[in-house]
Amino acid sequence: MIGYQISYNDLAALVAQKSPNWINRATQRTTNFRQQRRYAERSPMWSEIKTVYIRLQGGKCAYCERQLEGEVYGKSEYDIEHFRPKGNVKGWSLSSVLSQQGITPTPVPNGTGGYYLLPYHLFNYAVACKPCNSVLKETYFPIAGTYDLSGHDPVALLQAEQPYLIYPIGDFDKAPEALIRFEGISPCPVVSEGHDHDRALVTIELFKLDDVIGRKNLFLERVRIMIALFPQLEILADGATGDARNSAMRVIDLYTSCQSPHTNCARSFVSLYNQNPSQARQLWEAALTVSDSTS
């Protein structure tokens, strides 16, 4: 995961550019939900602004950073993911590994529905791939604080609810890269304890970002990135100049761009190389072995 920094006003401007009256219609629908105290409507309209989020996120899933097809032919590959579920919140069962870490999600209130004031909040959307959104996240929303399903402001809710999942868009939640980094092809927490540590573990577990079997293509894509990056980092370290240096820099810039797939993995690998090139070499050799075994 990486973050996509944007202010609410800038995001709203992009939405208005895409669909000039969308925000007014969304406000009206939210007023209706407020009166009914629940989410209920016949024809949702968030797909109208899906391309705003596809462009913002570089055509990548918000959680696993896989790159999907472009917006012309690929829109159906993306789900608009409601970060806080709109109609229902399911209780999430911790794995035994996370239980042993002392993580204790707040029990979900029984029979109280979902976040009925947030189905049309711009800071409650992201685009995600179908495995991440439909198969894995479903309507889970584990938190450490107190559920407030009638909340209308994601910024205020962040403080009160202390969600375990990380919201990657905007300017108010922590940057995902401040919480999750990669050791080679495997994601892990940046910090060693506390809520930020637990958020990283829950996010990795819920989206199966470290499931080498269930999400093997994620791992293979990360492997290929490391294989491509290491020789370029070596070229720079050897003191290359001129065209050779420029060419290596271009490749590294390409792979570490926020518009490329698995940016967090690529940036973590570059950072490791700069701190400990021999360990980076070991991981690169391991990546080559993985690649050879699957080809």
d(CA 128, CA 65): 9
Task: Classify residue 90 as exposed, middle or buried by CB count within 10 Å of its CB (0-12, 13-18, 19+).
Answer: middle
Q: How far apart are CA 43 and CA 98, in angstroms?
A: 39
How far apart are the C-alpha atoms of 139 and 88, rounded to whole Å? 6
CB of 128 to Zn ion, least distance (A): 5
Site string for Zn ion, 23-52 (x = CB under 5 A): ------------------------------
- For Zn ion, the closer CB: 64 or 117: 64
User: Per-residue string for binding with Zn ion, 53-82, x by CB under 5 A?
Assistant: --------x-xx------------------
Residues in the interface with Zn ion (CB under 5 A) total: 5
Question: Among residues 129, 149, 157, 179, which is the contact residue for Zn ion, using CB under 5 A?
Answer: 129
Tokens of 244: 């050779």
CB of 27 to Zn ion, least distance (A): 30
Nearer Cβ to Zn ion, position 252 or 265? 265
**Residues forming beta bridges with residue 290, ordered by sequence position:** none
Question: Shortest gap between Cβ of 227 and Zn ion (angstroms)?
Answer: 22
Please give the full DSSP string across 169-188, using - where no structure is assigned: BSSSSPPHHHHEEEETTEEE
What minimum distance in Å lies between the beta carbon of 283 and Zn ion? Answer: 23
| Distance, CA of 214 to CA of 228 (rounded, Å) | 24
- Among residues 285, 269, 180, the alpha carbon closest in space to that of 225 is found at 269
Residues 236-275 binding Zn ion (CB under 5 A) are none
Q: Quick one: which of 98, 108, 127, 132 contacts Zn ion (CB under 5 A)?
A: 132
C-beta closer to Zn ion: residue 19 or 186: 186
218 lines the binding site for Zn ion (CB under 5 A): no
CB of 207 to Zn ion, least distance (A): 7
Residues 6+ positions from 213 with CB-CB distance below 8 Å? none
**Min dist. Cβ of residue 221 to Zn ion (A):** 11
In sequence order, what are the residues at sequence separation of 6 or more whose Cβ sits closer than 8 angstroms to the Cβ of residue 72?
Answer: none
Binding residues for Zn ion, rule: CB under 5 A, are 61, 63-64, 129, 132
